[in-house]
Amino acid sequence: MRLSGRGIRCVRGGREVFSGLDFEACSGEALAVIGANGSGKTSLLRMIAGLLAPAEGSISLEGGEPELTLSEQAHYLGHRDALKPALSVIENLAFWRDFLGGEASDAKESLSSVGLEHAAFLPAGYLSAGQRRRLSIARLLTIRRSIWLLDEPINALDVAGQSMFATLMDVHLARGGLIVAATHGSLGITARELPVAAFS
């Protein structure tokens, strides 16, 4: 599987954010998108996820599931945690499993992997910022998709949480997954760097 972008140009609010951007990542690889605030890291992830259209250029996936679109094979984990505060932790995972469809794993096992099994029936609105991020990570595990698009994924995680997520990312890559992550710092795993700021 190979994810690539060629000649991508990003325009937001009438302003060119970056242009001429090329990238490539293959199965088992992580690509760290680096750059200053406002350099277009989040915009690039949203383009790959199909949430924004490039002003120019193209993004393609080779070797994935031919009957599925790129966005149907990717998880987008934004810098804000997408959860419903009135639903319990496990109900949030059930919602995403039903909404996204596809191959699913056991929600309780996913919660155990991120250290939230004790909070399964607690309303998500009661969670701390770090616990909310762990719940978002559990969504990556509950509905299996090959491509993880991560926007500042270790924000709000303590040292133990960062180590836990690094292990989960390593497992995902070892299984042939692919990661593209916007980050200001280290992901805790080996990743090639794509300096978006160089194109702004």
Is pLDDT at 101 greater than 50 in this prediction?
Answer: yes
Residue type, 136: S
Residue (of 141, 132, 143, 67) closest to 98 by Cα position: 143
Res 198: pLDDT = 47
All structural domains of the chain, each given as residue ranges with its CATH number in brackets, are 28-52+67-194 (3.40.50.300)
Lowest mean pLDDT, pick from 18-27, 63-72, 84-93, 98-107: 98-107
Average of per-residue pLDDT across 34-50:
90
Burial class (CB in 10 A: 0-12, 13-18, 19+), 178: buried
Six-digit token string for 166: 């690094």
Strand partners, 24: 4
pTM assigned to the model: 0.91
199: pLDDT strictly greater than 60: no
pLDDT at 187 over 90: no
pLDDT value at residue 165 = 93
Share of the chain above pLDDT 90, in %: 65
In our burial notation (b when 16+ CB lie closer than 10 A, e otherwise), range 130-167 reads ebbbbbbbbbbbbbebbbbbbbbbbebbeeebbebbbe
> Does the pLDDT of residue 82 top 90, yes or no?
no
Greatest alpha-carbon pair distance for the chain in Å reads: 48
Lowest mean pLDDT among 22-31, 118-127, 165-174, 179-188: 179-188
Residue 169 has phi, psi (to 5 degrees) of -65, -40
pLDDT above 70 (res 147): yes
Where is pLDDT greater, at 113 or 99?
Answer: 113
Mean pLDDT score of the chain: 89
Q: Could you tell me whether strands 147-151 and 2-12 are parallel, antiparallel, or unpaired per DSSP bridges?
A: unpaired
| pLDDT(32) > 60 | yes
Quote the pLDDT of residue 102. 66
DSSP classification of residue 52:
S
Cβ-based burial of 172 (10 A; exposed 0-12, middle 13-18, buried ≥19): buried
